[in-house]
Amino acid sequence: MTAGILAGKVALVTGAAGGMGRATALMFAEAGAKVVVSDIDADGGVATAALITDEGGEARFVTADVSDSRSVAELVRGTVAAFGGLHCAVNGAAIELERERLADVDEAVFDRIIAVNLRSIFLCMKYEIRQLLEQGSGGAIVNIASTNSFRPQPNQSAYTASKHGVLGMTRNAAIDYAPDGIRINAICPGAIDTPMLRAAIERRGREPDEVAGRLSLLGRFGEPDEIAKAALWLCSDESSFTIGHALAVDGGYLAR
């Protein structure tokens, strides 16, 4: 990637208080974008925005509950108010809470996972697309799916269902809005070294080295920056002919 590849662009990144979202926001700012950082975690989101502005970039933090329609609508309006428009978005907010088989999953846990992981993608795309259509100049949207979109892990029925849904919704929206110059794609991360992954490993009583060896041909976890690089490419003009694609960034896990 070259410096300035997103110069003059306005980017919105959800789930940006840490992990892959923070890495994406930082990389987009380094590439020249003005970045709206969003998360329900205000402390982490403010910290991400500060990391950008401390390096001379332009960023604003806008808190949002991406499972709530009014909050997402305000988020997009806030993005436009802060920087005058919207050109690309990475929808990455997600949770993973399960450790039981399907019959033992609490219904409230299922509902919460679907709300944060799937309903949020619908709402974010809904309001992002409306803004892009109003501007009339196209744009790019990247949704964060998962290798679970293709190959489920044990005891993750709700999470897997949500990530299958993200991929299906991404592809359908890509078909609908390609004629308007809006490119919509998904990234399917494998085992990326984030607080959410570490918490899931601890919750299941697993050893990190065993998990890394099982979920990657390289025998290591991926780094958040490796997802950010994929998102940057998909949001840039370098991927101008890429539409409705599910890009696995997984250390070869799905190749097995």
For the beta carbon of residue 148, count every other beta carbon within 10 angstroms. Answer: 21
Structure tokens at 253: 């896990």
Of 127, 159, 177, 253, the active-site residue reads: 159
Instruction: Supply the pLDDT for residue 1.
Output: 46
Instruction: Supply the pLDDT for residue 2.
Output: 56
User: Does a structural domain hold residue 5?
Assistant: no
User: Does a structural domain hold residue 1?
Assistant: no
Say whether 177 is catalytic: no
Residues of the chain with pLDDT under 50: 1
Spatial separation of the C-alpha atoms in residues 142 and 91, rounded to whole Å: 6
User: Does a structural domain hold residue 2?
Assistant: no
Mean of all residue pLDDT scores within the chain: 95
Give, in order, the Cα–Cα distances in Å from 175 to each of 184, 244, 254.
9, 7, 25
Domain range holding 117? 10-255
User: Does a structural domain hold residue 126?
Assistant: yes
User: Does a structural domain hold residue 245?
Assistant: yes
pLDDT in tens, 50-70: 999 999 999 999 999 999 999
- CATH code where residue 170 lies: 3.40.50.720
Sheet holding 10-14, edge to edge: 59-63, 34-39, 10-14, 88-91, 139-144, 182-189, 246-249
* Domains: count for the chain: 1
